Amino acid sequence: MKFENPAKDNPIDQLTVVGQPHDRIDGPLKTTGTAHYAYEWHDEQPDAAYGYVVGAAIAKGRIQSIDLSAAEKAAGVITIVTAENAGHLGKGEKNPAKLLGGPEIDHYHQAIAVVVAQTFEQARAAAELISVDYHRERGRYDLACEKPSVSTPPEDEPDKSVGDFASAFAAAAIQLDATYTTPDQSHMAMEPHASMAAWNGDKLTVWTSNQMVDWCRSDLSLTLKLPKENVRVISPYIGGGFGGKLFVRSDALLAALGARAAKRPVKIALQRPLIPNNTTHRPATIQHIQIGTDNTGRINAISHESWSGNVAGGPPETAVQQSELLYAGAHRHTGLRLAELDLPEGNAMRAPGEAPGLMALEIAIDEIAEKAGVDPIEFRVINDTQVDPANPERFFSRRQLVECLRTGAEHFGWQHRNPKPAQVRDGRWLVGIGVAAGFRNNMVMKSGARVHLDAQGIVTVETDMTDIGTGSYTIIAQTAAEMLGVPLESVVVRLGDSDFPVSAGSGGQWGANSSTAGVYAACVKLREAIANTLGFDANTAVFADGQIKFGARTAQLSDAASGGKLSVEDSIEFGDLEKTFQQSTFAAHFVEVGVDVATGETRVRRMLAVCAAGRILNPKTARSQVIGAMTMGVGAALMEELAVDTRLGYFVNHDLAAYEVPVHADIPAQEVIFLDDTDPVSSPMKAKGVGELGLCGVSAAIANAVYNATGVRVRNYPITLDKLLKHLPELI
């Protein structure tokens, strides 16, 4: 199905099942332990051996020699795979660094060997016996030191300019010129990167934890030099990914190599200390923002430049993209700068680009608003735009930022906020309120599905879409139930198998909207097949209560499959509507914090997110996504930071004991309001993504609340107490 024009009325608009707060249909499986995660397919491969990954102990250099003799003689060892005996490997399109290093080392904890043994304990013990002699080379590990030498944009990310920023900024009545930093961050999903692999001749099956099944399959085939049709990837349940499992990683490759060498299935779970350095992370940024306004606070000039680092061939953190679209301003400039570093690979982490970009931009907006003497919400309102500032003929398909701000202000009690910092006390706590705009572009991707109807009236949906805890099973079932007029209980959803039609996958906030649109397309075709079989006109017939009806005539849907199961397949393919309309999602985030006047400890007291993200397919699962994202925003603002050893080139705090994330005690009352919204330009579902929008802007709202509480402006995340403490004694 081609989606080339804005959606008109269709069966989804009935909202009998879609749009309702149904419980997750996979919930009972997960709460009873019967949902199989990547490491748990014991019944499928009961004789699986265990692999243990050895990571490089240097960040840059080469392996001079590797002695496996003691490890090979250890109890239970079946085989050991290194780059020397793995055969010639290719490299996936989405892997800047090799997944199996040697002799050259690209980054710390790059996999250099996998030990396969009868038990996990035996594999781990044998791995300790491997002796490696390295030649360490000097590397580049400090973005701040490399920044002066990074003066040109990446080839595929040119600067974008409108008007004459330099002249307009110089002439502005009110100016802000400030630099902000965000640190390296880790996904830290509860489920580690894990895979199990088995060979049947030259055909490979990998059970893995991966958000994008087709990407994984394609890159495995490239790396192993196998025909794509010889690779099957299975990933029905994922215990958290946040972008860290978008791409094939070393666990999947080494499980496949280990299984081939051992001639039996092999399972691997990356040990927790390996994950931050071996997989991917959100790169640190240095962001320079300049804003110039007139005396009323209207922006005339805005510039946002961001520096980030990565391994050779890795992408920049696109932290300036929201600044191209969020606020008006005739004279504009954005630019990305990329330093080649010898740190582990940087790549997508929940809301890549906008999450760290808004951490800086939305502090800067508060700062310039204060300079202009304008309330922070009113400043954002007067600088709202309904068109793409770089192309005024291109309108936003839907833009409700002002409504998000107004609704949130009323609900949160913004009118009671004291605009003068450090004025509100609650015992030992200085109390402040902050706001920030949220923004995330709405992206869509081609997505396919296969739908069956059997003689019992059961509808089965098959697609390689994944569920990373977001509720994909449920919203896909709701879509099929709505389209075919059957109860939710009559729909079976099968996900995460490369034998199924290729979907959008889970990433970039495109998954829910795109995958349900693909199911919509397949269901349109199934409606036609049912109608043709039973002698109805699909365009006029009504599908409801497990029946197809027109006028006085009624038939059971199951009758259409009485002669055999009906099966159809289709995909949604998106046209060029993005050329005519800018599609984005918007939010307003409000936070109240308390800062201990003596210790600088910051506590979040309450939070509110007001979101405009098209039709909400399931308010219950969408709310779960947003509050989870808000929680990540607390972590990013107050505690999350991968500490870089700039001498040896690795992340020091590479486990959950040392890399701090919020716990339940850190998160008080959270509220979410979804504005009534549909966007027919987005898809037949008239929906958009919301799972990443819930993060975008949260950290800045916390930073702005801390400033309102204390009068201390922190521009370098995370906002730890040491950055506040030296300024607080004078307030006691």
**Cα–Cα distance measured from residue 590 to residue 380, given in angstroms and rounded to the nearest whole number:** 14
Please give the average per-residue pLDDT across 644-656, as a whole number. Answer: 96
Contact 532, 560 (CB under 8 A): no
**Cα–Cα distance measured from residue 704 to residue 595, given in angstroms and rounded to the nearest whole number:** 12
pLDDT at 506: 97
pLDDT at 731: 59
- DSSP codes of every residue in 528-562: HHHHHHHT--TTT-EEETTEEEETTEEEEGGGGGT
**Cα–Cα distance measured from residue 661 to residue 189, given in angstroms and rounded to the nearest whole number:** 11
Taking the CA atoms of residue 233, residue 692, residue 282 and residue 389 in that order, the dihedral angle to the nearest 10 degrees is 120
**Cα–Cα distance measured from residue 542 to residue 11, given in angstroms and rounded to the nearest whole number:** 9
In degrees rounded to 5, what are phi and psi of residue 414? -60, -30
Between 192 and 150, whose confidence is greater? 192
Number of Cβ atoms within 10 Å of the Cβ of 473? 26
Inform me whether the pLDDT recorded for 148 exceeds 90.
no
- DSSP codes of every residue in 319-371: TTGGGGTSS--SEEEEEEEEEE-SSSPB---SSTTHHHHHHHHHHHHHHHHHH
Task: Assign 608 a pLDDT band (cuts: 50, 70, 90).
Answer: very high
On average, the pLDDT of the chain sits at: 97
Please give the average per-residue pLDDT across 342-354, as a whole number. Answer: 98
Contact 52, 83 (CB under 8 A): no
Task: Assign 156 a pLDDT band (cuts: 50, 70, 90).
Answer: confident
601 is a catalytic site residue: no
Output the six-digit token pair for 111.
Answer: 């996999």
**Identical fold at 2-35+444-579 and 397-440+583-731?**
yes
In degrees rounded to 5, what are phi and psi of residue 637? -75, -40
> What digits encode the pLDDT tens for the residues 673-708?
999 999 999 999 999 999 999 999 999 999 999 999
Report the candidate in 182, 187, 183, 184 with the shortest Cα–Cα distance to residue 242.
187
Contact 627, 674 (CB under 8 A): no
Please give the average per-residue pLDDT across 345-353, as a whole number. Answer: 98
For 145, which DSSP code?
A: H
pLDDT at 307: 98
pLDDT at 508: 94
For 185, which DSSP code?
A: B
> What digits encode the pLDDT tens for the residues 250-292?
999 999 999 999 999 999 999 999 999 999 999 999 999 999 9
Q: Is the pTM of this model over 0.95?
A: yes
Sequence-distant (6+) residues with CB within 8 A of 444 are 504, 510, 513, 514, 517, 574, 583, 682, 683
Task: Assign 151 a pLDDT band (cuts: 50, 70, 90).
Answer: confident
Please give the average per-residue pLDDT across 236-244, as a whole number. Answer: 96
Contact 243, 352 (CB under 8 A): yes
Burial of 248 (0-12, 13-18, 19+ CB in 10 A): buried
Pick the CATH number of 397-440+583-731 from 2.30.40.10, 2.130.10.30, 3.30.365.10, 3.40.50.720: 3.30.365.10
Inform me whether the pLDDT recorded for 732 exceeds 70.
no
> What digits encode the pLDDT tens for the residues 98-136?
999 999 999 999 999 999 999 999 999 999 999 999 999
The active-site residue out of 362, 640, 692, 730 is: 692
Burial of 713 (0-12, 13-18, 19+ CB in 10 A): middle
Task: Assign 507 a pLDDT band (cuts: 50, 70, 90).
Answer: very high
Contact 82, 112 (CB under 8 A): yes
Inform me whether the pLDDT recorded for 585 exceeds 90.
yes
Please give the average per-residue pLDDT across 525-549, as a whole number. Answer: 97
Taking the CA atoms of residue 706, residue 712, residue 717 and residue 718 in that order, the dihedral angle to the nearest 10 degrees is -60
CATH code at 2-35+444-579:
3.30.365.10
> What digits encode the pLDDT tens for the residues 49-70?
999 999 999 999 999 999 999 9
CA 707 to chain centre: 29
What three-state secondary structure class fits 383?
coil
In degrees rounded to 5, what are phi and psi of residue 376? -55, -35
> What digits encode the pLDDT tens for the residues 367-420?
999 999 999 999 999 999 999 999 999 999 999 999 999 999 999 999 999 999
Segments making up each domain of the chain, as ranges:
2-35+444-579, 397-440+583-731
